[in-house]
Amino acid sequence: MTVRDIVRWPDPRLSTVCAPVAVIDADLRVLAADMLETMYAAPGRGLAGPQVGAMSRIFVMDTDWKEGTPAPLVLINPAIEARSAARATQTEGCLSIPGVSAEIERPAEVTVAWTDLEGARQVRAFTGFAAACVQHELDHLDGIVTFDHLTPDTRARLEAEYAEAVQ
């Protein structure tokens, strides 16, 4: 496994819609293992393909590892099948926009379907922080970053803070 470089905003790859994964092969398994290694080293709780320059619909996540036992997930070609009407606000950070966090409102619960590394279809409901994380990573696959969820004034302020922090 290799820790890969994380793509930083405003790299245009972070604004690009990713292509579906066509085949699950040894290269994809290596990518998934590298993504998990990179996420844990960052240290983060989720990481999407474009964040390591892989423009494919894959992301990894583990929302529990910092509090206890690791429970890594690899989601290939994920799609939200259902969203709750209830909304929740979470503080979200992003490994591609280090040092910036923002309050983002999203559906409080989502049901997601994906293919796992064995080629099996999985379906699971996510709530709480895990629901925010899965939606955040899905956003990356659609070329959406945290800044895209903000009001113009908040976005401008946080972009300025980020620009100052990375100088």
Q: Which residues are catalytic?
A: 137
Is 113 exposed, middle or buried, given 0-12, 13-18 or 19+ CB atoms closer than 10 A?
Answer: middle
Alpha helices in 1-147 (DSSP H): 26-41, 128-141
- Cα dist from 32 to 38, 66, 73, 117, 154, whole Å: 10, 20, 10, 9, 34
Distance separating alpha carbons of residues 44 and 113, to the nearest angstrom: 22
67 in Cβ contact with 79 (< 8 Å):
no
Return the H-helix or E-strand segment holding 163. Answer: helix 152-165
